[in-house]
Amino acid sequence: MSSKLDLSKEFIGRRALVTGGTRGIGAAIAKRLLDAGAKVVVAARSRSDFTPAAATFIDGDVSTSEGVKAIAAEALAVLGGLDILVNNAGGAGGTRMFPEGSPTIPDEEWQDAIDLNLFASIRLTNALLPTLRASKAAAVVNISSTAATMPFAPTAHYGVAKAALDFYSRTLAVELAPSGVRVNVVSPGPISTPSADEMRKSFPGISSDEWLRYVPLGRIGTTDDITEVVALLASDRGKWLTGMNYRVDGGMTAR
């Protein structure tokens, strides 16, 4: 008898909310959960051609407290509860760069980066905590970035917000462990998505080919590289994993 796990059914009966789930990494995560049997809601400001057809779409803005409350209420109305929360909204693709350095980043850009990449996760997790505590298999996965540990002045506001998300996630993991809610972080390195590919082209002084010099495994990552780690952390396979930050970056931050 084969002992191989059947990963195509591991999320049957699980209810999931993925923010920023209509494109890029978020859409790929939503599809991975759906393919394994989960009931999935995706929340974003708009649909895209990449939005998984089987997911329920909620139009909302996680960067405001009012938007978060509306998303949480609608998601629970659709799902009837929650087992998996993936805080994916945000990302470098929508971050403005300031080539002249961090002193030139306006206050409003710092605030926008913090609202989207930090407060969105805090507010939504807090809004859904009672429901997560009621689940027998609750898992929170916060999508961060290797930018949190690799200083780059033109996008300092983004890196700072993600670094704060990392610390918050560790704190929350310890705090919620007694109630059985697991909290982990996945920090992607350079991943090939339409928005990320376009952003990398605009990095000052770094060509597309030169990016590979920074990745020991010699290639840009795919969304599948991220979704499989998220699936592990959200599933029973990861039931003794909490408070960790998994850097999925081809070895880039190992240097």
- Helix, strand counts (H, E) of the chain: 7, 7
**Burial (CB count within 10 angstroms: exposed 0-12, middle 13-18, buried 19+), residue 64:** middle
Place of tokens 């929340």: 43
Per the annotation, the verdict on 158 as an active-site residue is yes
CA pair distance 31, 50, nearest whole angstrom: 10
Going 201 to 204 to 205 to 206, the CA torsion angle's sign is negative
Rounded to 10°, the helix 24-35/194-201 angle is 150
* Rounded Cα gap, residues 220 and 196, in angstroms: 11
Rounded to whole angstroms, how far apart are CA atoms 146 and 7? 28
- Give the three-state DSSP class for 62: coil
200/117 Cα distance (integer angstroms)? 19
CB 38 within 8 A of CB 16: yes
Which is the catalytic residue, given 158, 168, 214, 246? 158
E strand segments, 152-210: 182-188
User: Is the separation of the CB atoms in 207 and 214 below 8 Å?
Assistant: no
Catalytic residues: 158
